[in-house]
């Protein structure tokens, strides 16, 4: 696309568009089109590419939840055409006041690399920008944003690479908070890469949960190793034991005296303040990491596993028990 203008008609009647080049000596073909706003009669998109979606007024509607995730792409700029910038994609989703949404831009093709990465920018129903994130994800997630809707209405997303010459595919999904309608996880308990998407674990030895930290796909533009969050209820005064056991050798990490360079188990309180962290242990032991804590207040607590080594992955089991 070379140029675009958005205009709201203040009166009914005939409008005139004039097109002329900024040169007296050029000739050539061009296309022109006039598109209605997304919610006005005649609004339409290509069902495969979701184009044209290059402005907030042409934002393509997407659904909430794991099952509504979809693939799209930053288009190639055809060198036969006079273009002015890289493709950008706008989407909109309907948010309910008070609910929390985790927006993930993931499986981003490596060929979209350039500059800082691929930006994920969020706008509220007044079309004011409320968040802008790039290359902040874990696992196969490239960029993500977490928002709590201040009001019910359409929220908008823009996907835009930080390079004017790249093109390639990506996926997008909007996940409800773990305890809100539509929350779901796949058979690998993903996506659980943020506390807002923590997977529920029940207390007790019998509820030990086998899972894994997955190997990132090298065809995707990724930033960090996978991380996993779990949530569980506690009562004030209860003593709880969180354990990570049966850890695959590919996930184990020698501790060199810095927690930032190894496999971490972290427990957080309901306000996401860190309660305790364990990053040291016998590499041969069945229980590789463990934390005991006394709950200061009744409410949801979170356990997180995190490998800060970018190459680690593999199976492990988590279990949480009350010991008093």
Least gap, CB of 305 to Ca ion (angstroms): 9
Least gap, CB of 128 to Ca ion (angstroms): 21
Structure tokens that stand for 232 in this block: 């569980």
Among 58, 141, 224, 226, interactor with Ca ion by CB under 5 A: 226
Give the three-class secondary structure for 290: strand
Residues 6+ apart with CB under 8 A from 166: 74, 86, 111, 112, 113, 114
Segment near Ca ion (CB under 5 A); pick from 93-101, 192-200, 264-272, 311-319? 192-200
**Between 228 and 243, whose beta carbon lies closer to Ca ion?**
228
Q: What is the total count of residues that contact Ca ion (CB under 5 A)? A: 8
**Between 155 and 170, whose beta carbon lies closer to Ca ion?**
170
314-322 and 129-134 beta bridge pairing? unpaired
Distance CA 191, CA 227 (A): 9
Least gap, CB of 2 to Ca ion (angstroms): 14
Residue 85's Cβ-count burial label (10 Å; 0-12, 13-18, 19+) is exposed
Q: CB of 312 within 8 A of CB of 208?
A: no
Segment near Ca ion (CB under 5 A); pick from 122-130, 170-178, 225-233, 276-284? 225-233
Least gap, CB of 34 to Ca ion (angstroms): 17
Segment near Ca ion (CB under 5 A); pick from 15-23, 61-69, 228-236, 297-305? 228-236
**Between 275 and 305, whose beta carbon lies closer to Ca ion?**
305
Structure tokens that stand for 196 in this block: 């807002």
Give the position of tokens 């997303």. Answer: 157
Is residue 193 part of the contact set for Ca ion (CB under 5 A)?
Answer: yes
Is residue 264 part of the contact set for Ca ion (CB under 5 A)?
Answer: no
Least gap, CB of 244 to Ca ion (angstroms): 14
Residue 28's Cβ-count burial label (10 Å; 0-12, 13-18, 19+) is exposed
In DSSP terms, 268 is beta-bridged to: 274, 302
SS3 assignment for 246-292:
CCCHHHCCCCCCCHHHCEEEEEECCCCCEEEEECCCCCCCCEEEEEE
In DSSP terms, 76 is beta-bridged to: none
Give the position of tokens 């034991």. Answer: 241
Least gap, CB of 72 to Ca ion (angstroms): 6
**Between 124 and 228, whose beta carbon lies closer to Ca ion?**
228
Least gap, CB of 230 to Ca ion (angstroms): 10
**Between 104 and 145, whose beta carbon lies closer to Ca ion?**
104
Whether cis (ω within 30° of 0) applies to the bond prior to 324 is no
Least gap, CB of 260 to Ca ion (angstroms): 19
Is residue 124 part of the contact set for Ca ion (CB under 5 A)?
Answer: no
Pick the closest to residue 301 from 253, 233, 254, 236 (CA basis): 233
| Interaction mask 170-189, Ca ion, x per CB under 5 A | --------------------
Looking at residues 66 to 95 of the shown chain, list those that interact with Ca ion (rule: CB under 5 A): 87, 89
DSSP state of 80: T
Pick the closest to residue 43 from 60, 31, 55, 64 (CA basis): 60
Looking at residues 28 to 67 of the shown chain, list those that interact with Ca ion (rule: CB under 5 A): 53-54
Residues that bind Ca ion (CB under 5 A): 53-54, 87, 89, 192-193, 226, 228
């Amino acid at each position: 696309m070379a140029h675009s203008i958005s205009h709201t008609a203040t009166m009914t009647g005939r409008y005139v568009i004039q097109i002329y080049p900024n040169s007296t000596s050029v000739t050539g073909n061009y296309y022109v089109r006039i598109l209605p706003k997304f919610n006005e009669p005649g609004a339409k998109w290509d069902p495969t590419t979701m184009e044209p979606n290059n402005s907030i007024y042409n934002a393509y509607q997407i659904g909430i939840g794991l099952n509504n995730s979809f693939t799209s792409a930053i288009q190639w700029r055809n060198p036969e055409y006079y273009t002015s910038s890289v493709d950008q994609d706008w989407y909109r989703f309907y948010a309910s006041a008070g609910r929390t949404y985790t927006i993930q831009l993931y499986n981003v093709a490596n060929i979209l690399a350039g500059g800082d990465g691929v930006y994920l920018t969020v706008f509220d129903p007044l079309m004011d920008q409320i968040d802008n994130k790039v290359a902040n994800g874990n696992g196969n997630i490239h960029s993500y944003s977490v928002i709590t809707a201040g009001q019910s209405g359409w929220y908008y997303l823009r996907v835009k690479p930080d390079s004017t010459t790249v093109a390639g595919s990506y996926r997008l999904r909007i996940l409800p908070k773990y305890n809100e309608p539509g929350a779901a996880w796949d058979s690998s308990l993903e996506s659980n890469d943020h506390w807002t998407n923590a997977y529920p674990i029940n207390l007790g030895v019998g509820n030990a949960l086998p899972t894994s930290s997955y190997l990132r796909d090298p065809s995707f533009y990724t930033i960090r190793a996978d991380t996993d969050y779990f949530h569980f209820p506690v009562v004030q005064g209860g003593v709880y034991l969180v354990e990570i056991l049966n850890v695959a050798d590919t996930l184990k990490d020698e501790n060199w005296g810095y927690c930032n360079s190894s496999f971490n188990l972290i427990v957080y309180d309901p306000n996401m303040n860190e309660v305790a962290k364990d990053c040291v242990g016998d590499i041969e032991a069945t229980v590789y990491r463990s934390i005991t804590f006394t709950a200061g207040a009744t409410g949801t607590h979170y356990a997180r596993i995190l490998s800060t080594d970018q190459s680690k992955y593999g199976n492990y089991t988590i279990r949480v028990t009350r010991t008093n």
